[in-house]
Amino acid sequence: MTAEFPTNIAPADRTLPRLLDLQAARHKDRVLFGCAGESWSFASAPDIAARAAGSLSAAGVRQGDRVAILCSNRPEFLRIVLGCGWLGAVAVLINAAAKGLQLRYALENSAARLLVVEDALASVLDHCPLAGLPLERIQVVGNVRPTPAKDRPTEQFAGKVAPIAAIAVKPSDTLAILYTSGTTGPPKGVCCPHAQFYWWGMHTARFLGVREGDVLCTTLPLFHTNALNTFFQALLIGATQILESRFSASSFWAAMTRNRATVTYLLGGSDSPARRNCQTGRAGWLLRTAATILRLAALSGFCHLPADDRQWQGE
C-alpha cells in the first residue's frame, strides 16, 4: 500500500501528544510498537503516554523539566519518552555505555532533575560522582530491587499510575536532548523540538519509501537518532516498529525473519557479518540485490527487505 503522508496535519498539531491522538483515531488497532514480547496498538499509545506522564508527575517532574534515561532497548525506554512528551518534559537520551565522568557530564550538561536507569546498569552510579548535580531523584526500571546511590534517593519507577491529561505544548517546545558522539570534543546536547520529529519522521519515511503496513525492525539503540526516528516513521505512516534488544551478527537475519520485517536499519561498513550472512544464505532466504541494498544501508541506515514468502524461504 502506498503511504499517504500526513501533510494535512495542522502546524499546531505537530506535537507528540496530538500526533498520538490523531494517529490512534486513524489506525486504531494496528500494532505501532513491539519489543520484548510487548506490543502497543495505535489506539493504546495515548493511554500509555498518559500513564507514563502520570508516573513522571508523581516523581515530581513538571513541564520543562529534564528527565535523563539510561537504558537499553526495552519498552520502558520508549514509554518514558512518550510520557515526557505528554507531560511537556524533556527526555535526555544517554548512551547506555556511559559511565563515570562521561555520565556525570551528560547529567550536569542537561540539568536533569530525574534519572531513570535500568536495573542492569544501575551499578555504574557507584562510580559516578553525583555531588553538585541538579539531580534530585533516581528511579530504576526492571525487576532487581534498587540499591542506594550515594546521597540521592533511589526508588522503583512507578509503572502503574493513573493517566493524566496531556499538557499543552507547542511544536517549538523541546521534546528530547540527543547527544552527539563527541568526536572533536565533549558531546553536544542537541535540543530537538516536537515539530522536528514530525518533519524528521515524515521526510525520512518519504525518502526511504516506507509504506503503510510496513514492519520496521531495528537493532540500533533507542538512545540513537536512527532508532528514535524509526518510531516516528511508524507513527506517521501507519507502520509498525519492532525494537530488538541489540545487534547480533549471528542472529540478525533470524530476527528479521521472526518479525516478518519489511524494512531494517543498518550502520557500519558494507563488508559486515550481516551482509556476508545474507550472501551465504544463512538466514534461509535470498536478497537478490544484496550488494545494491546494503550499499544504500551503509549510506542511509536503511534497507528494504523482501515481503514475498518465496524470497523469505530463499527460493
- pLDDT number for residue 280: 41
State the pLDDT at residue 300.
42
Report residue 144's pLDDT band, with 50, 70 and 90 as the boundaries. low
- Going through the chain in order, the beta strands assigned E by DSSP cover 31-35, 38-41, 66-70, 90-94, 114-118, 137-141, 154-156, 174-179, 189-193, 215-218, 240-243, 263-265, 303-304
Above 80 in pLDDT, residue 169?
A: yes
Q: Which one has a higher pLDDT value, 306 or 125?
A: 125
Cell of 115: 534519572
Mean pLDDT for the stretch of residues 66-75: 97
What is the per-residue burial (b if ≥16 Cβ within 10 Å, else e) of 146-161? beebeeeebeebeeeb
Q: What is the pLDDT of residues 97-122, one digit of tens each?
A: 999 999 999 999 999 999 999 999 99
Please report, for the chain, the start and end positions of each structural domain, with discontinuous segments joined by +: 11-193, 195-312
CB 251 within 8 A of CB 21: no
Mean pLDDT of the region 201-229? 92
Residue 301 confidence (pLDDT): 46
Instruction: Identify residue 128 by its one-letter amino acid code.
Output: C
CATH number 3.30.420.40 given to 11-193:
no
Confidence of residue 200 (pLDDT cuts 50, 70, 90): very high
Q: Which CATH number fits domain 195-312: 3.20.20.10, 1.10.800.10, 3.40.50.980, 3.40.50.2030?
A: 3.40.50.980
Identity (one letter) of the amino acid at 263? Answer: V
Provide the pLDDT for residue 149: 58
Q: What nine digits make up the cell of 42?
A: 495505535
C-alpha cell at 89: 518534559
Tell me, what's the pLDDT at 151? Answer: 61
Rounded mean pLDDT, 181-193: 89
Same fold: 11-193 with 195-312: yes
Please, how many CA atoms are within 13 Å of residue 28, restricted to the half-sphere of its CB? 1
C-alpha to C-alpha distance for 229 and 131, rounded to whole angstroms: 34
What is the model's pTM? Answer: 0.85
Coil, helix or strand at residue 219? coil
Mean pLDDT of the chain: 84
Q: Which residue has the higher pLDDT, 312 or 55?
A: 55
pLDDT at position 32 = 98
Write down the pLDDT at residue 181: 83
pLDDT tens column, 261-292: 999 988 765 455 555 544 444 333 323 223 23
Pick 158 or 165 by higher pLDDT.
Answer: 165
* Sheet of 154-156, strand order: 154-156, 137-141, 114-118, 66-70, 90-94, 174-179, 189-193
Beta bridge partners of 217: 242, 264
CA dist 51 and 79 (Å) reads 9
Return d(Cα 285, Cα 300) in angstroms, integer.
23
Residue bearing the bigger pLDDT, 142 or 41? 41
Could you read off the pLDDT of 24-48 as tens digits, one per residue? Answer: 999 999 999 999 999 999 999 999 9
- The percent of residues above 90 in pLDDT, for the chain, comes to 67
For 243, phi and psi rounded to 5 degrees? -105, 110
Pairing assessment for the beta strands 174-179 and 66-70 based on DSSP bridges: unpaired
Q: Judge whether residue 295 has pLDDT over 70.
A: no
- Give percent of the chain with pLDDT exceeding 70: 79
Q: Which of 140, 126, 118 is nearest to 246 (CA)?
A: 118
